[in-house]
Amino acid sequence: MEIDASIWNAIYIRGDQPTTCPKCGSRIDWLLDLQHVNNQPAIVQCLSPTCKFIFVEETDETPPFNKIF
């Protein structure tokens, strides 16, 4: 499976509900989850075999950097 730069065109904010695919609503799997490190975005893939949409998920939490001010 290839992950190219186009995934950065599809960035979604993680909400209160468990994340589902924004295209088909299926369950998702985290390919790469860096959100335990400074709220970095996660790379997520839809588990539907007919969809397999890959997107980037971010939190809406304020990064610690901005809390200095």
The residues of the shown chain that bind Zn ion, judged by CB under 5 A, are: 21, 23-24, 26, 46, 48, 51, 53
- Of 6 and 38, nearer to Zn ion (C-beta) is 6
Planar angle of CA 1, 8, 67, nearest 5 degrees: 125
Q: Supply the minimum distance, in Å, between the C-beta of residue 54 and Zn ion.
A: 10
Contact of 56 with 43, CB cutoff 8 Å: yes
- Of 11 and 24, nearer to Zn ion (C-beta) is 24
Q: Supply the minimum distance, in Å, between the C-beta of residue 16 and Zn ion.
A: 20
d(CA 69, CA 65): 8
